[in-house]
């Protein structure tokens, strides 16, 4: 493999000598002065730089200091090619950021040997740094790197006055999972959840981290609260669909997570006197409080915690601004408005998805193509999804019907299950009729679940706009 080496030397004859001597190892790029060198670096960062001390208009020592201070070149070794000798020069060269120096005229074998050594050291350094910033089990960034990325993104959000969402994730009853299946299976489960989170956070700037044993985090730049809620709901839905078994969970028969969401909103959470450290601390505290609330209120859900400077939204304040919140029979409008933080689009999407997903709900004995145990498990999972969806929307009666069906299923009470399923359908029909009676109709009931529209991943439209 040919290495990418940049030579910076004002003497064209010396440049040609270096190119010929390095031919077995690399096909170097050449720059005759500092300006040309910076243009070459802007096009592509080299693996190693060979630098002359005497350049037109610039001393090599000064250029070396500038290159060494460039974050892009943090791990790029710089070797001086020089006719100068003496202890004071050697000290100054090394202190300016150079890793070695080779006297002119260079000898080909010595030049190649020293270049190979520095290239290998640079490779090992990069690998070690990557290891120091990566969780060895999941491959996610670790807590150290998480804090660096969070501070960097918050600083950028503060400068550009853009939103940023933070989601903390905790696997529900994970200790019981390890007790049931063993720590090896627990590690595998954690890796699968980590991979699922990465598929839900698809944008280049998004970062997923492991910050504790079973604690994970997502940093979502350019994402307001509505977009953060969409990602949180996508995670819950994806995990429900994957349904990795967890027989000792006290929430469901499969692995679930609880999520705490907080958002940095430029209009309310940023001012010129607030330090990035204070913003990070406040955001982390709010996300942690939201996670605690999600776990205390039943787990397998997300909770959003708004900023201290921002008042909790109410329907009255929304209506004053000309917005409308659809009133649907069977849904507590005030409760749904608060839980979804006034996000009308998300509310409409979730209602449409609820009515579509459970239109074909039937009791286990009617699954003719399934064995009894398989049908029971499938029905239990659907009830779990129904209960969670109803809870998110504030459909408290529908949620209690689903919980009652779960109880009847545990007692194998087929008659009660059939009665509750009929009642659930009657309730869904009333909700559907209520939706269709709204004028103007706020949404169409889709034949297939709709995609969330809040966080576009289309190139050129990378900022979520609810």
Does the pLDDT value for residue 322 go beyond 60?
no
Closest C-alpha to 230, from 238, 217, 294: 238
Mean pLDDT in residue range 375-395: 84
Q: What is the DSSP string of 401-459?
A: HHHHHHHHHHTT-HHHHHHHHHHHHHHHHHHHHHHHHSSS-S----SSPPPP-SS--ST
Q: Which long-range contacts (CB under 8 A, 24 or more apart) does 19-25 make?
A: 20/108, 21/106, 21/108, 21/111, 21/112, 22/111, 22/112, 22/115, 24/112, 25/112, 25/115, 25/116
Looking at the predicted structure, is the pLDDT value of residue 77 above 90?
yes
Average pLDDT over residues 183-207: 94
Query: Is the pLDDT higher at 370 or at 282?
Result: 282
The region that residue 86 occupies, defined by phi over 0 for left and psi between -120 and 50 for alpha, beta otherwise, is left
Pairing of strands 164-171, 215-221: antiparallel
Which of 155, 165, 158, 154 has its CA nearest to residue 208? 165
pLDDT above 90: residue 173: yes
- pLDDT of 257 > 50? The answer is yes
Helix (H, G, I), strand (E, B) or coil at 168: strand
Alpha helices in 71-142 (DSSP H): 87-95, 108-133
Q: Per-residue pLDDT for 63 more than 80?
A: yes
What are the start-end ranges of the H helices in 297-395?
315-320, 333-339, 344-357, 372-393
- How many whole angstroms separate alpha carbon 246 and alpha carbon 48? 51
Parallel, antiparallel or unpaired: strands 58-59 and 54-55: antiparallel
pLDDT interval class at 315 (50, 70, 90):
very low
- As a whole number, mean pLDDT of residues 386-410 equals 88
In 3D space, the residue among 188, 228, 226 whose CA is nearest the CA of residue 218 turns out to be 228
pLDDT digits (tens, 9 = 90+) for 339-367: 777 777 778 878 888 888 888 898 888 88
H-helix segments, 182-329:
183-200, 225-242, 266-269, 276-296, 315-320
* pLDDT bucket at 323, cuts 50 / 70 / 90: low
Q: Which token pair is 407? A: 């109880």
Q: What is the pLDDT of residue 335?
A: 84
Which tokens hold the place of 55?
Answer: 């350049």
User: Given a cut of 70, is residue 312 above it in pLDDT?
Assistant: no
Does residue 461 have a pLDDT over 80? no
Is it the case that residue 400 has pLDDT exceeding 60?
A: yes
- The pLDDT of residue 317 is 44
61 contacts 84 by C-beta, under 8 angstroms: no
* Per-chain mean pLDDT for the chain: 84
Q: How far is CA 122 from CA 95, 108, 136, 352, 374, in A?
A: 18, 21, 21, 55, 55
260-297 per-position pLDDT tens digit = 999 998 765 556 567 889 899 999 999 999 999 999 88
pLDDT value at position 452? 31
**What is the DSSP code (8-state) at residue 359?**
T
H-helix or E-strand containing 262?
strand 257-264
Q: Which residue has the higher pLDDT, 109 or 442?
A: 109
Q: Which stretch of 15-19, 106-110, 130-134, 241-245 has the lowest confidence by average pLDDT?
A: 130-134
Question: Quick check: 51 pLDDT over 50?
Answer: yes
Confidence of residue 166 (pLDDT cuts 50, 70, 90): very high
Of these ranges, 213-227, 324-338, 349-363, the one predicted with the greatest mean pLDDT is 213-227
- The pLDDT assigned to 268 comes to 56
- Could you tell me which residues are beta bridge partners of residue 218? 167, 208
- Which of 341-350, 378-387, 429-438 has the weakest average pLDDT? 341-350
Provide the pLDDT confidence category of residue 22 given band limits of 50, 70 and 90: very high
Residue 307 in tokens? 């900023």
Q: Which pLDDT belongs to residue 1? A: 66
pLDDT of 435 > 90? The answer is no
Give the pLDDT band of residue 447 (cuts 50, 70, 90).
Answer: very low
């Amino acid at each position: 493999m040919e290495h990418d080496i940049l030579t910076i030397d004002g003497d064209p004859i010396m440049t040609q000598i270096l190119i010929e001597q390095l031919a077995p190892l690399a096909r170097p790029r050449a720059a005759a002065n500092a300006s040309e060198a910076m243009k070459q670096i802007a096009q592509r960062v080299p693996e190693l730089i060979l630098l002359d001390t005497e350049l037109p208009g610039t001393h090599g020592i000064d250029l070396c200091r500038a290159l060494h201070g460039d974050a892009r070149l943090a791990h790029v070794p710089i070797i001086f090619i020089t006719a100068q000798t003496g202890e004071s020069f050697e000290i100054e060269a090394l202190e300016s950021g150079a890793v070695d120096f080779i006297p002119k005229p260079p000898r080909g074998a010595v030049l190649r040997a020293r270049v190979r050594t520095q290239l290998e050291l640079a490779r090992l350094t990069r690998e070690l740094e990557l290891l120091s910033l990566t969780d060895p089990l999941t491959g996610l960034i670790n807590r150290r790197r998480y804090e660096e990325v969070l501070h960097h993104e918050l600083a950028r959000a503060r400068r550009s006055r853009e939103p940023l969402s933070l989601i903390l994730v905790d696997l529900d009853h994970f200790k019981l999972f390890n007790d049931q299946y063993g720590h090896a299976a627990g590690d595998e489960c954690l890796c699968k959840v980590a991979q699922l989170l990465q598929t839900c956070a698809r944008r280049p700037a998004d970062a997923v981290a492991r910050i504790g044993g079973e604690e994970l985090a997502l940093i979502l730049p350019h994402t307001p609260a509505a977009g953060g809620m969409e990602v949180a709901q996508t995670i819950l839905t994806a995990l429900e669909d994957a349904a990795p078994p967890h027989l000792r969970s006290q929430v469901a028969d499969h692995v679930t997570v609880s999520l705490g969401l907080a958002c940095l909103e430029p209009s309310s959470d940023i001012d010129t006197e607030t330090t990035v450290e204070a913003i990070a601390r406040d955001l982390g505290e709010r996300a942690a409080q939201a996670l605690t609330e999600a776990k205390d209120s039943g787990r397998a859900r997300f909770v959003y915690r708004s900023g201290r400077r921002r008042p909790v939204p109410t329907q009255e304040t929304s209506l004053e601004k000309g917005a409308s919140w659809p009133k649907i029979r069977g849904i507590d409008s005030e409760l749904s408005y608060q839980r979804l933080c006034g996000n009308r689009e998300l509310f409409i999407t979730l209602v449409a998805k609820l009515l579509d997903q459970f239109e074909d709900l039937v009791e286990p004995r009617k699954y003719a193509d399934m064995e009894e145990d398989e049908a029971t498990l499938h029905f239990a999972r659907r009830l779990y999804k129904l209960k969670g969806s109803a809870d998110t929307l504030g459909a408290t009666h529908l949620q209690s019907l689903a919980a009652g069906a779960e109880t009847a299923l545990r007692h194998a009470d087929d008659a009660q299950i059939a009665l509750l399923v009929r009642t659930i359908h009657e309730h869904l029909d009333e909700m559907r009729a209520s939706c269709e009676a709204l004028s103007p109709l706020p949404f169409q009931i889709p034949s297939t679940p709709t995609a969330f529209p809040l966080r576009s991943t289309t190139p050129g439209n990378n900022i979520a706009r609810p």
